[in-house]
Structure 1
Amino acid sequence: MEETYYKSSGKAPIGGVLFAIIAGVCASVILAIVYIALQWFIPIVYFNFLITFGLAYGLFYVLDVLLKIGKVRNKGIALLFTFICTLVAYYAQWCLFVSLMFNAEGTMGGDMWLKSSFNLDGFLYFLFHPMDMFSGIQELNAVGTFSLKKSVVSGWPLWILWGIEAATIIVYPIVLAFSGKTTEPFSERGNEWMRKRELEKQIAYIADKQALEQNLGKKDFTDLQTYLETDELGAEFATVTIYESDADNYQYISVVNHRLETNKKGDIVDKKTNVLQYFKIPERSL
């Protein structure tokens, strides 16, 4: 029976996986170093939360690109790969932070230690001596690593903040990976990811998903053409994304409903709802 929606082959080329792992681990360490450098030289506690989210998204983006280059279309392997690399990044940033703190001079001033210098030997030592690194974390927790409103944050409050940081760096990229590149249509015949193309024209809001799905399944595009010919859309409309490859005689489409609403602040909010995702249609239908 012909598949109505795209179903991944689940293939993961050994060469692509090895490439992704090697490049992913290296990229994770580099991003972790950049992350600590930004936190060290921009000692603003509230801004550091944004930096943490930046690291998490940066990890997802880089790892997703590596999976795309490696042509890995196995979601399970992609999630495991993302998990391993986020752990590497989290561990590496702690090794660097602990080494910097143990090389710091003076006392805590504002939100950071007064002076510190990067020591490669110290970073590598903690990198290959995890027990000493964990002991260092406990020592830092006892004395605190920053102050908030002139009060040093240490003990359980600091553990909680570090726990939130860990969840952000490790969990957030994995959540994003659930809808990453490995879930998009791949042309097995052409051995390439299908090109992504959005219709320039918005279409009418899809009120009856089931009817549209049934008609498309029968290769009846009358409803969709009618939607495309609608001019006045107002605050409710839909957008269509097409996935295609020169090697295949079919396409996949995704349809998203949009409803523009005004919130309490007077800002316009675009509320999106997936109608169809990767629905198979004949080639050149749209």
Structure 2
Amino acid sequence: MDKYYSPSGKFDPKAILYFILISVIAMPLLGLAYSYAIWYIPIIYLNFLIAGAVGFAIAWLISKFVIKLGKVRNKALAVIFALLASIIALYSSWVVWADLVINMGESYGTSRIGITASNVDVNQLYILATNPATLFELIANINEYGTWGIKSTTVSGTILTIIWIIEALLIIGVTLLLTNGSRVPFCELSNKWFESKNLPPFNVVENRGELIKAIESGDPTAFDTLALVTKADQDHSVFTLFSSSNNENYLTVNNMKGKFNKDGELEFDDTLLVENIYINNELKNKLVNVKDIITPTLDSEETIIEDKIITE
């Protein structure tokens, strides 16, 4: 048995069908929503946040409906799907945005901030979408003159190009970063993803090397130092157990160390200690029974934190 899970590189051919459906239905709709949002929200900083949200949405759709349903265990293919989906969404947004420019109406607001009414024309959308040369020529012309400004100064040329590049990189980057590419183990015998379970939070793992060495060797004392945490602001570790119907198990461990941000709110820095390491049944049973062996006294005003690691 390998000490760490390694994706087989296989995938269900239906993944390609799922990707096509997502690409022709969901991605154009995301592009439409994104273009309307940045058109009617005249605050450039919020536009960057919207771009990141679009990347998150693309990553979720690809992870949920292409990688998971299509049983994609190929990291390179997962990246290709994510990259292509983000490009399709971006292209769709350019089509919609360019058409909004064509159909610009009256402007409302002040010299410092305002919006221009507009709406798309379906026939124009089709022409722009099916004629990339025409679309990019129009975009180049728009770039030369600009359509909006900051403090009465119209943004165009190089500055506008840089802003467009940043927004595109945000969408593509967030998509690639968050797309779940075979990070969840897959059982080839049962042809199913492993079931994942977040165990109750334990104390922080102080010695990463010792923990990994003990798990790799099947040392029955590997988890002897674990205890359940009792306070919401306490540093802790998150153990995510992956189990298959064929009695195989893998473990991912993260340390979560708390700190207060500038607003005085508690946040946790997430540090990955080990990902998808094989764990034998003896260690698995001992780990899941730690909560039965050690029963802490809980503060009535605080609850044990339940941190969730995104797994699909």
**Count of residue pairs brought into register by the alignment:** 281
Q: For the residues of structure 1 that align with 2:133 and 2:109, how far apart are their CA atoms?
A: 29
- Counterparts of 1:1-286 in structure 2 under 5 Å? 2-66=1-65, 67-106=67-106, 114-177=116-179, 180-200=180-200, 202-228=201-227, 235-246=234-245, 248-263=246-261, 266-283=264-281, 284-285=284-285, 286=288
Deviations 1:102-157 (A, max 9, x none): 12234686566633232011011010111111111111112212121122111111
Which amino acid is 1:170 matched to?
Answer: I
Gaps of 5+ in 1: none
Q: For the residues of structure 2 that align with 1:258 and 1:130, how far apart are their CA atoms?
A: 47
Equivalent residues of 2:203, 2:236 under 8 A apart: yes
Equivalent residues of 1:112, 1:146 under 8 A apart: no
Deviations 1:72-109 (A, max 9, x none): 11010010111111111111110111112112234686
Equivalent residues of 2:233, 2:266 under 8 A apart: no
Structure 1 residue 169, shift from structure 2 partner: 1.7
Partner SS, residue 219 of structure 2: coil
Structure 1 residue 173, shift from structure 2 partner: 0.8
Identify the range of structure 1 (216-225 vs 259-268) with the bigger mean alpha-carbon deviation.
259-268
Equivalent residues of 2:75, 2:181 under 8 A apart: no
Structure 1 residue 59, shift from structure 2 partner: 0.9
Q: For the residues of structure 2 that align with 1:12 and 1:56, how far apart are their CA atoms?
A: 24
Structure 1 residue 11, shift from structure 2 partner: 0.5
Report the TM-score when normalising by structure 1.
Answer: 0.89
Q: For the aligned residues, what is the CA RMSD?
A: 2.3
Report the TM-score when normalising by structure 2.
Answer: 0.82
Gaps of 5+ in 2: 289-312
Q: Alpha carbons of 1:174 and 1:234: their partners in 2 closer, same or farther (altered >3 Å)?
A: closer
Q: For the residues of structure 2 that align with 1:153 and 1:230, how far apart are their CA atoms?
A: 53
Q: Alpha carbons of 1:276 and 1:113: their partners in 2 closer, same or farther (altered >3 Å)?
A: closer
Equivalent residues of 1:105, 1:113 under 8 A apart: no
Q: For the residues of structure 1 that align with 2:233 and 2:176, how far apart are their CA atoms?
A: 36
Q: Alpha carbons of 1:221 and 1:138: their partners in 2 closer, same or farther (altered >3 Å)?
A: same
Structure 1 residue 10, shift from structure 2 partner: 1.0
Equivalent residues of 2:36, 2:97 under 8 A apart: no
Equivalent residues of 1:146, 1:153 under 8 A apart: yes
Structure 1 residue 190, shift from structure 2 partner: 1.8
Structure 1 residue 263, shift from structure 2 partner: 5.0
Q: Alpha carbons of 1:115 and 1:214: their partners in 2 closer, same or farther (altered >3 Å)?
A: closer
Q: For the residues of structure 2 that align with 1:116 and 1:216, how far apart are their CA atoms?
A: 61
Q: Alpha carbons of 1:231 and 1:162: their partners in 2 closer, same or farther (altered >3 Å)?
A: closer
Q: Which has the higher strand share?
A: 1
Which amino acid is 1:195 matched to?
Answer: E
Which amino acid is 1:139 matched to?
Answer: N
Deviations 1:225-281 (A, max 9, x none): 4313687998432121111122x2121111111222345654433122111211111
Partner SS, residue 223 of structure 2: helix
Q: Alpha carbons of 1:214 and 1:16: their partners in 2 closer, same or farther (altered >3 Å)?
A: same
**Identity in percent:** 27
Equivalent residues of 2:143, 2:161 under 8 A apart: yes
Q: Which has the higher helix share?
A: 1
Q: Alpha carbons of 1:233 and 1:206: their partners in 2 closer, same or farther (altered >3 Å)?
A: farther
